[in-house]
Amino acid sequence: MTPVSAEVSAPAARGRRELAYAVLLSLAGAGLAVWASTRTWAVELTARPAPLPPVREARTGAGLLPWLPALAVVALAGGGAVLATRAAVRRLLGALLLGLGVAVAAGGGYGLVAALGGEVSRSWPALCLVGGLLAAAGGALTALRGGDWPAMGARYERRARPATDAPAGAAAGPVTGRRTTEAWDALDRGEDPTAG
């Protein structure tokens, strides 16, 4: 017979695993796309009169498609923001990540099929395409399943203090003596000892 706590923790563990996969897919894909978009996608040689050597002009993905690294950076930030959001906002963020990933993948696909002049490297656009698809997969997973995943704990949110917490006759001002240890204890509990 399976203990009740194990049955309850199984969906929570699955949700944490899915959250980790979605964040890793989004961050890895967007990071790969940012990196690949800053690499040299084409090198053009422009001939000059003799005895001058030809002019070599390297064109990066960012130079060819200026919006590409910007979208990839936004997707990178969105991948991290998945951790800080919850429920409907997280699903909306997942849909946004899906759209960003598809746009980045489209930029990489353009680099694969475009007729660029000079010596062309198709490996960097291909990596950009893969990165966009990974980010889109993380966004799709977040949009579909993100509402059920655990959120950051309320540990970081300020709770209202009951009026009975302040000792009788406690005066406002610097914390000294015995009140110093009380202040540290309050901080350990997550309370603000300076709040009135």
- Model pLDDT, residue 54: 77
The pLDDT, as a whole number, for residue 174 is 59
pLDDT at position 177 is: 61
Pick from 38, 39, 109, 105: which is nearest to 75 by CA? 105
If DSSP codes are grouped into helix, strand and coil, which group holds residue 59?
strand
Q: Quick one: pLDDT at residue 162?
A: 58
Residue for token digits 């040299």?
A: 40
Block mean pLDDT (10 aa), the chain, length 196:
58 86 95 95 81 82 93 95 91 96 95 80 92 96 89 65 54 61 83 75
Residue 153: per-residue pLDDT:
65
Tokens matching residue 103: 């746009």
